[in-house]
Amino acid sequence: MDRRDFLKPLFATAGGLYFDVYGQVSSDSEVSRPIRKFGPKLKGRVILPNEAGFASLSYANNGRYRLDTPWAIAECLTAEDIRQSILWAREQGVPFAPRAGGHNFAGYSSTSGLLISLTNMKAIELDVKTGVITVSAGVQNRDLASFLRGGDWLLPSGTCPAVGVSGLVLGGGVGHNSRWGGLTADHLLSTTLVTAKGEQMVCSATQNADLFWACRGAAGRNFGIHSAFTFQLRRLPRSEILAFGFEFQGAEALTQALAACNKLNQNAPDTLSCAFICSSAPEHHVSGAVYGQYIGSKDDGLSILAPLMIAKPSDVYAEMLPWWRAQAYLTDEEGPSHKSYWSRNRLMREPLSDAAIALMVTQLVAFPHSSSQQADITFLYWLGGAVNRVAPRDTAFVHRNSQGIARFTANWAYNADASPPADVADWMAQVWDQSSSLLTANSYQNFPDPALQNWQQAYYGENLTRLMQIKKKYDSDNVFNFAQSIPLA
Ligand SMILES: Cc1cc2nc3c(=O)[nH]c(=O)nc-3n(C[C@H](O)[C@H](O)[C@H](O)COP(=O)(O)OP(=O)(O)OC[C@H]3O[C@@H](n4cnc5c(N)ncnc54)[C@H](O)[C@@H]3O)c2cc1C
């Protein structure tokens, strides 16, 4: 009997189990004993299928992984809960995975075993004088934003409110404030994690410095489970900034706007940041939107952005907004995802060539769009500037000489098969193959792509060997092991 078979009866007879977890039934069956002993060791609780809280904590943002539900959830509230969970899962031979914000593109925070949920670890502590902040592992971008809103301090992070700070910082963390401020990971002062052996460890520039290096870019679930992160925040650079959005309709406008946006980004100051989202639409129509911020005056910002006007935007928004309102404008408000999606990305080292722009627009026009399947090709001009003033080997985040990320995303119905529909898969194969000579083979590790060949090089490049050595040192049994985890040296 393998460990799945061993656990199946445990969860199949859920009614009996609930009692076991809380110790109300004195069944000493082989399967019930371990989990009955485990539940009370947590300050949080063990949650079983059909119990309150199970559905929300096991919810997968990407519908592709909705069926990878755990057998049980350990709702952790403290570092000791994390330790107990790791030790219990290892002792029982149960597979496990940590989850914070649950936004991993490739389902790497899903497991059929024990889900070690950090989601309810929400503590935040700020020293307002120094701007040093410590957040617990379950804090999401939106928790941090509402904590900091109105104050003088900020942490450069991403645009999605529900993304967890844990996953974000461990893989880098890019957004509209990275070009002037740097990555989220560049602001990390220290982090506390529990290793596979149950040791609690602090990593910083002076303690376990090799692991600290690795934690800034390796991506989550590689060395241990982090309970908290301490960051040095930045002062707001300006109380009011320019927030803008330009919209374009049709292939011709999109082609012109992409060329203009690409060019203006080559010479733009670090204080300008934008993203260009190009979307499929019914009947092979396409549309696009450039949105972003400029930390400076409206006149200066609009003069930098003026080349976009050649593409005759269908709508323009450009307003000076107080800092926190501008950040809210740039936030991708999202409810629960109702999509299954597959996202692939290539880093942009050079400006996009005319051939690359033509390919992107042609491919988007060709997408088999319907009410249940859509695509977008997005250019995130969020690298360069301060990100590239750190050397590629100074942290595990190697992508220090790129200008942005080109991301191809196709989505389809949440409840459909995990594999993309055949016409979507064909489309993605074409975009991917044809873009190989026009963009780099490097990929952002925080947008993991389960189909990526040669992902080790694509995510880590010249830092791979060192990461493998650190993996061997801190997780020699390869306990933190999944499809794209860092291999042992
Ligand atoms: C809609 C959407 C928008 C996004 N926007 C941005 C953006 O603007 N900028 C950007 O840089 N990225 C963005 N991302 C990518 C995001 O940064 C990564 O997906 C990130 O890893 C998500 O972190 P999480 O905690 O939400 O996810 P989870 O799925 O909980 O975790 C991600 C990975 O880290 C592991 N993990 C989680 N917590 C811990 C922990 N405490 N210790 C050890 N391992 C842990 C998990 O097992 C998993 O492998 C976006 C993703 C989505 C889906």
Instruction: Provide the token pair at 201.
Output: 């460890």
Residue whose CA lies nearest to ligand 1 atom number 5: 160
- Which phi and psi angles does 485 have, rounded to 5°? -80, 160
Selection from 38, 31, 25 nearest residue 12 by Cα: 31
137 pocket-lining for ligand 1 (C-beta < 6 Å): yes
Mutate which of 56, 96, 103 for ligand 1? The one with the most ligand atoms within 8 Å of its CB, which is: 103
217 pocket-lining for ligand 1 (C-beta < 6 Å): no
> What is the CATH architecture assignment of 3-117?
2-Layer Sandwich (3.30)
Distance CA 377, CA 305 (A): 21
What type of residue sits at position 274?
C
Q: Relative to the CA of 174, which ligand 1 atom is closest?
A: 11
Distance CA 446, CA 157 (A): 13
Residue whose CA lies nearest to ligand 1 atom number 48: 109
290 pocket-lining for ligand 1 (C-beta < 6 Å): no
Q: Are 172 and 185 in contact (CB under 8 A)?
A: yes
Mutate which of 81, 116, 163 for ligand 1? The one with the most ligand atoms within 8 Å of its CB, which is: 163
Distance CA 459, CA 444 (A): 6
173 pocket-lining for ligand 1 (C-beta < 6 Å): yes
Distance CA 483, CA 470 (A): 18
CA of 118 from ligand 1 middle (Å) equals 12
pLDDT at 415: 87
The CATH T-level fold of domain 124-236+464-474 is 3.30.465
Q: Are 170 and 224 in contact (CB under 8 A)?
A: no
Q: Relative to the CA of 119, which ligand 1 atom is closest?
A: 30
pLDDT in tens, the chain (489 residues): 333 333 433 433 333 333 333 333 333 445 456 777 898 999 999 999 889 999 999 988 899 999 999 999 999 999 999 999 999 999 999 999 999 999 999 999 999 999 999 999 999 999 999 999 999 999 999 999 999 999 999 999 999 999 999 999 999 999 999 999 999 999 999 999 999 999 999 999 999 999 999 999 999 999 999 999 999 999 999 999 999 999 999 999 999 999 999 999 999 999 999 999 999 999 889 999 999 999 999 999 999 999 999 999 999 999 999 999 999 999 987 666 689 999 999 999 999 999 999 999 999 999 999 999 999 999 999 999 999 999 999 999 999 999 999 999 999 998 888 899 999 999 999 999 999 999 999 999 999 999 999 999 999 999 999 999 999 999 999 999 999 999 999
Residue whose structure tokens are 């990878």 = 68
Residue whose CA lies nearest to ligand 1 atom number 7: 158
pLDDT at 3: 37
Q: Relative to the CA of 172, which ligand 1 atom is closest?
A: 11
Q: Relative to the CA of 482, which ligand 1 atom is closest?
A: 49
Residue whose CA lies nearest to ligand 1 atom number 26: 101
Distance CA 55, CA 483 (A): 25
Domain with CATH 3.30.43.10 in the chain: 3-117
Widest Cα–Cα separation across the chain? 76
DSSP-derived secondary structure letter, 1: -
Selection from 22, 37, 229, 220 nearest residue 121 by Cα: 229
Mutate which of 77, 104, 112, 223 for ligand 1? The one with the most ligand atoms within 8 Å of its CB, which is: 104
Query: Phi/psi class of residue 102: alpha, beta or left (left: φ > 0; alpha: ψ in -120 to 50)?
Result: left
Q: Are 187 and 156 in contact (CB under 8 A)?
A: yes
DSSP for 431-473?
A: HHHHHTTTS-S---TTS--TT-TTHHHHHHGGGHHHHHHHHHH
Residue whose structure tokens are 């990526």 = 452
What type of residue sits at position 101?
G
pLDDT at 37: 80
195 pocket-lining for ligand 1 (C-beta < 6 Å): no
Q: Relative to the CA of 168, which ligand 1 atom is closest?
A: 17
Distance CA 279, CA 289 (A): 9
CATH tag for 240-461 (out of 3.30.360.10, 3.40.50.1370, 3.40.462.20, 3.40.50.10800):
3.40.462.20
3-state DSSP call for residue 343? strand
Which residues, 6+ apart, have CB-to-CB distance to 443 below 8 Å? Answer: 344, 345, 346, 347, 449, 452, 455, 458, 459
168 pocket-lining for ligand 1 (C-beta < 6 Å): yes
CA of 219 from ligand 1 middle (Å) equals 8
Start-to-end CA distance of the chain, whole Å, equals 32
Given strand 339-348, what is the order of strands in its sheet?
315-322, 240-249, 286-294, 272-280, 374-381, 404-413, 339-348
185 pocket-lining for ligand 1 (C-beta < 6 Å): no
CA of 277 from ligand 1 middle (Å) equals 21
114 pocket-lining for ligand 1 (C-beta < 6 Å): no
pLDDT at 338: 80
98 pocket-lining for ligand 1 (C-beta < 6 Å): yes
Domain with CATH 3.30.465.10 in the chain: 124-236+464-474
> DSSP H helical segments within 149-241, as ranges?
165-171, 178-181, 209-215
Domain with CATH 3.40.462.20 in the chain: 240-461
138 pocket-lining for ligand 1 (C-beta < 6 Å): no
Q: Are 93 and 135 in contact (CB under 8 A)?
A: no
